[in-house]
Chains A and B, each alone.
Chain A
Amino acid sequence: MLERAFIGQSRYQTWLTVLLIPIAVGLACYFSQFTHGLGITGMSRDVIWGFYIAQFTFLVGVAASAVMVVLPFYLHDTKEFGRVVILGEFLAVAAVVMCILHIFVDLGQPTRVLNVLLHPAPQSVMFWDMIVLNGYLLLNLVIGWTTLDCERNTRQPPRWVKVLVYLSIPWAISIHTVTAFLYSGLPARHLWLTALLAPRFLATAFAAGPALLILLCLLLKKTAGFDAGREVLRKLAITVAYAMIVNAFFIAVEFFTGYYCGVPAHRRDLQYLFFGLDGHARMVPWMWASLAMGIASIPVLLGSLRRQTHLRLALACGMVFLSTWMDKGLGLIAGGFAVTPMDTVADYAPTLPEILISLGIYAGGALLLTLLYKIVLSVRAEINGA
């Protein structure tokens, strides 16, 4: 099946070539980082993690999207999801690959990465995160590939695939829970030191992941003539809407606890992000834009359920995706490190090479996703043609 990935119209070939440009730029910037050290980024002794780890965290959420199509299809027998299940799974594959690459570029000594396997440390959450992420990657790759192969040969998938599918559902929850535990298990990082972090991660994941999937379906309809179907888009939009509502509720709950209890430590990070702290207000417009866009997306989404137009749906999903990205893809990290162990305030902004390296990884993910989706669509076209 693999050969289908590279056969396409000239427009498709151009797209693949275009993706290679940011990949090359990212590689060049990474070479510079590899030579000079992580000092070329905006991180510091106070803001210890930055753009890379934030992207990793956000993309783990995108990866969890697969479960929102797998679960209704396999557990609730929602037949119409059959067409998009594999798109969700392959989106998860690309997202997890981008996650792993973002962790890799964040390492100070990348050549020693295998020390994590040579000297495993089960008391470290990072050990478990490595297991759940790689496991999820493998699960989705094997499930997706096998079911597609069976589809091509018009036979039922073997029974063991079903077992893996059922396993992948709790596994999707686990990747986000374990990723949240990386943060919420740290003492004195008060923005993260909340039991609500894992549930909040899941809420944003179930909003951002399916929102991206809807956008991809709309894009495939325009560019490749793939129609996911009205009902699929409608049901996915409902998922996104409810996940966004739950997310907004969680944010409100955090604000209540932070501000009503009066404990400074619980309040200061939120204050930094949304109102500015000790004259540091860099993140304020960013966070309000994210919050406003997230809340505004809810009525647009609900409206699009009643009178669906693709434009309105795309707009709503774009807002959801951008809102959650601004929150998790920068705010979460910058806010968590804002109040330093010395009770001072530290700002963070990524540098250009840092952004370009990350952009290169995103382009790599897009390339992988394009190739995987191309295979899916070619196989489907072949079946319909035959």
Chain B
Amino acid sequence: MKISRRTALKLSLLTGLSLTRKHSLFAMVGFAKPSNLLAPGAALKAGRWAMAIDVKKCLAAKDCHDACIGACREAHNIPDIPNKKHEVKWVWREQGDHLFPDQLDEYRGAELARQTVPALCNHCASPPCTRVCPTGATFKRSDGIVVMDPHRCIGCRFCMAACPYGSRSFNWEDPRPYLKQINPDYPTRTKGVVEKCTFCDKRLAQGRPPACVAACPAGAMVFGDLKDEKSPVVRLLGENYSICRKPELGTSPGVYYVV
């Protein structure tokens, strides 16, 4: 076949079009358009994301049926593994004296010591887990969220040994058989990698608050930007006394407990 000058020009124009990102051929036919993947709404951005858990409100909500935990499990395909040794936890209930050893006195503190409140990754300002990771599979984003790339993780579990809060979980076995139903919007994980709470970075990118925060019927989980004076989390922390887990370690947790 002989290609005329005219055809050649047409072809080169098409090739050029397909190479520019915004108007690529793929975009024209609707593949991989960002708006197809993300729900409408501008991404939420912050200087440093943080959470304050209002312990009184949380303890008062007796019949919430652990809405925060359920929402997180559903949103992130977290397996329900009966073997306690192999459990995967992102948000879970933990007894007060386990969360704050040596921090609660035996008078006013005794009540919290006996009861359970949510525990999750603290998204530390100075995270020991990211420091020790030998592949950069876990790292801190500029907005303070400590994230985890399960595809790069080699499963050495150094990050788990470094985390002083027990906030990281390893997939000791294939997690998929333990999923009752799979949420197609979030990837499942494989055996042999570490995972953890991500402060719902995917939801934030879609302009939505973390799943646990949105699900809490008592409004006991307050989420916001620590760098923004007007954010609800800064206001709550400014008006109330709060504690963090193991502050003496210098990790500067981003999860506060208003007591």
Contacts and interface: CB of A to CB of B under 8 A. Distances in A.
A109 B154 contact: yes
B141 interface: no
Interface stretch (A43-51, A79-87, A154-162, A238-246): A43-51
Interface in B113-154: 128, 131-137, 152-154
B162 A44 contact: no
A9 interface: no
B166 A112 contact: no
Interface stretch (B23-31, B48-56, B92-100, B218-226): B92-100
Interface residues of B, number: 49
A341 B164 contact: yes
The B interface is mostly helix, strand or loop, or mixed, namely loop
A112 B194 CA distance: 14
Contact of B165 (A44, A110, A121, A341): A341
A125 B157 CA distance: 13
B175 to A, nearest CB: 10
A266 to B, nearest CB: 12
Contacts of A10: none
B136 A119 contact: yes
Nearest to B169: A45
A342 B192 contact: no
A116 B164 contact: no
Contacts, number: 134
A120 to B, nearest CB: 8
B86 to A, nearest CB: 6
Contacts of B84: 44
Given A49-B161, A108-B153, A108-B171, A188 B132 contact: no
B80 to A, nearest CB: 15
B10 interface: no
A354 interface: no
Interface in B152-174: 152-158, 160-166, 169-174
Going nearest first, the 4 A-B pairs with the smallest beta carbon separation are A108-B155, A108-B192, A44-B85, A188-B164
Given A39-B83, A121-B136, A188-B164, 13 more contacts: A37-B171, A48-B160, A107-B156, A108-B191, A108-B193, A110-B155, A112-B152, A112-B153, A112-B155, A121-B134, A124-B131, A186-B161, A341-B166
